[in-house]
Structure 1
Amino acid sequence: MQIVHHTLKRNTDSGIEIYDLTPEIREKVAEFCHQTGAQNGQILVSSLHTTTALAVNEYEVRLLQDLKVWLKTLAPPMGSYRHNDLHLRDVPEDEPINAHSHLMAIALSNSQVIPLVNGGLGLGQWQSVLLFELDGPRSRSVSLQIWGV
Structure 2
Amino acid sequence: MVAAGAPAVFHYTQLEVETKPGIHIVDITPQIRAEVERLSVAEGFVNVLSRHTTTAIAINEAEERLLDDIRQFLHRLAPPTAPYLHNDLHYREAPPNWPGGWEAWAAQEPQNAHSHLLSIVLGNSETVPITGGKLALGTWQSIMLVELDGARQRTVGVQIVGQGAPADS
- Report the TM range for the smaller structure's normalisation: over 0.9
Q: Does 1:86 align with 2:100?
A: no
Q: Deviations over 1:43-77 (max 9, x none)?
A: 00000000000111000011101100110111011
Who is 2:140 aligned against? 126
Q: CA deviation at 1:32?
A: 1.4
Unaligned runs of 5+ in 1: none
Q: CA deviation at 1:87?
A: 1.1
Distance of 1:138 and 1:86 partners within structure 2: 21
Who is 2:67 aligned against? 64
Distance of 2:93 and 2:47 partners within structure 1: 34
**Alignment-mate amino acid for residue 11 of structure 1:** E
Who is 2:26 aligned against? 19
Q: TM-score, normalised by structure 1?
A: 0.95
Query: Number of residues paired by the alignment?
Result: 145
Q: Deviations over 1:18-48 (max 9, x none)?
A: 0100111111111111xxxx31000000000
Q: Does 1:42 align with 2:42?
A: no
Displaced runs of 4 or more, over 3 A: none
Who is 2:99 aligned against? none
The 3-state SS of whatever aligns with 1:40 is strand
Distance of 1:61 and 1:82 partners within structure 2: 34
Q: CA deviation at 1:106?
A: 0.7
Who is 2:35 aligned against? 28
Q: TM-score, normalised by structure 2?
A: 0.84
Distance of 1:148 and 1:107 partners within structure 2: 29
**Alignment-mate amino acid for residue 27 of structure 1:** A
